[in-house]
Amino acid sequence: MLKKLLKTESTLNSYFIEREDEVRGLTLGILSGNNVLFLGPPGVSKSLLVNSWASLIKDTNYFGWLVNRFSTPEELFGPYSLKGLENDEYKRITDGKLPDSHVGFIDEVFKCNSGVLNALLSVLNERTFYNNGKAVKTPILTVVGASNELPEESDNLEAMYDRFQLKYMVSRIQEPSNFSKLMKLKNGFEGNTTLSLSDIHAAKAQAMEVQISDEMVDLLTELREKLKEENIDVTDRTYMFSKKLLKAEAYMNGKSEVTEEDFEILQNAFWSEPGQKKTVYSTILNTVNPAKSKVLDIYYDATDLFEDLMASKKDNIESTEKSMEAVIKLKDAKKSLRGHYLDAKKNGQDYKIVQKYEKKVDIYLNKVYAECLEVSF
């Protein structure tokens, strides 16, 4: 089953450029039963990605809907049965609606009103829909929400927000070479169905058989305390769901037991606002992989330097001297990352992330040369 899932991810990644993390997030959501939230501007393929993933599972019921403040429960859960009303039964016909789906997608999810919200919460958390006063189990594997913005505190949507355990900031294509690839793609995703629902359920069962040792539980407890020191508030519900998430991640990494490396996926589960992302990831790495944390610090410093310079340029206060100073520091950062890359490769450790950050710093350098110093290569 693992090979089939990895092949499915590869198929999606070949079309959806710079969406590897989001593709893996959908896979983990399906395997662990967690819900996924995509935050990002319009036009970044949030809905198309979810629909395409679902299309690769044979006989899957997919439900997608754009909600707004005027949406009614009928739109998501189906109309009341007229025959049932004649018998004083308030029973909805859910065929083709969210309770009948395996993969659900709700666009602009935070714009739904209280009438939709109340019924949606139990579907998101317990996979249960109350129909005519009776609890009905749904076949839902995962529900994906999408939004252009986070909910306001005044919206009273904290309960719904907390039920999306995996959260991703989806941005526009960043690297020029990847944008060129995007422009050369054929219109419309085309992928062969390689998975069945029975395959998915078998994979879910295998993933949940992955073991979490007492040592890993202690590590999770240590991480919780460190996050509290950073004023990062993670709910108990999220921690409970994180166990399934860790198992699913370990399974996708071909392991039968959760290890420290799998904890990195929690960077997509433990933040509640975008400004916390860096702190959460740094805290996780400091806890489980201090050496990798140093690499992240180098990259974050380089990113802050670059963004500060670009902001100065936008405000017309950027100078040649400041640009040259940035070039020197970015070169030093790139050199340091190259050293960490060679050490990791020599010691048989994961070096791909170091390579990724080195490449990004190189992009920063080229932009400083081109946009600030007007030097081309």
Report pLDDT digits (tens) over 232-249: 999 999 999 999 999 999
Yes or no: say if 43 and 207 are a contact pair by the CB < 8 Å rule. Answer: no
What's the CATH class of domain 2-196?
A: alpha beta
DSSP character at residue 372: I
What is residue 38's three-state secondary structure? strand
Cα separation, 34 vs 48, in Å, equals: 20
Q: What is the pLDDT of residue 310?
A: 86
Per-residue b/e over 286-297, b at no fewer than 16 CB within 10 Å?
A: bbbbeebbebbe
Nearest to 227 by CA among 282, 301, 289, 268: 282
Nearest to 248 by CA among 285, 207, 301: 207
Q: What is the pLDDT of residue 190?
A: 82
Separation in Å, CA 89 to CA 96, 130, 132, 134 = 21, 13, 6, 11
Q: What is the pLDDT of residue 197?
A: 95
Q: What is the pLDDT of residue 133?
A: 87
Structure tokens at 258: 């959760």
Residue with tokens 């990791």: 344
Distance from the Cα of residue 321 to its chain's centroid:
40
DSSP character at residue 61: -
142-147 vs 36-39, strand pairing mode: parallel
CATH for 209-287 is: 1.10.8.80
Q: Confidence class of residue 289 from pLDDT cuts 50, 70 and 90?
A: confident
The sign one gets for the Cα dihedral 301, 302, 308, 312 is positive
User: Could you tell me the pTM of the whole model?
Assistant: 0.85
